[in-house]
Amino acid sequence: MAEQQPAAEKQLAISKIYVKDFSFESPQSPQIFKRTDWKPQTNLNLRSSHTAVEGSVHEVVLTITIEAKEEDKALFLVELQQAGLFEIAGYEGEELSAIVGSFCPNILFPYAREAVAAMIQKGGFPEFVLQPINFDALYLQSKQQQAENATTGEAH
């Protein structure tokens, strides 16, 4: 009887979650705190990146930038890089891409949301709650955009 080669065992585990970089700026303080009638416009920028570290260890970094402005004056600016080390084995191609592009950011987001809310509050501003993000939809949108760019690139 010939021995069958076992299929590569799939593993996915969180090794470490950490803050890689964090900054908070409040350029209008302390004068801004004399007011209580804030009506800021808030801009949210969200992105993630992935780096293979060694072996089956992968670092995924979720970067969140929030800028609150009123009448073109910045009230506050927050930038956070929430990172995680993930043990990912037995996944390749599209499966690996979906894990680092959607699953891992989904894991990191609650940590990032808590850190951002705490920092803004410590900066003297009212409670700030980031709404849930659908990373699955963002990942699919990114894939569609890449496919469209590839198609357009071939036409030129």
Q: What is the pLDDT of residues 95-113, one digit of tens each?
A: 999 999 999 999 999 999 9
Q: What is the pLDDT of residues 39-96, one digit of tens each?
A: 889 999 999 999 999 999 999 999 999 999 988 889 999 999 999 999 999 999 999 9
What b/e readout covers 110-136, taking b as 16+ CB neighbours within 10 angstroms? ebbbebbeebbeeeebeebebeebebe
Domain boundaries 11-155, corresponding CATH code: 3.10.420.10
- Domain spans of the chain? 11-155
pTM reported for the whole predicted model: 0.84
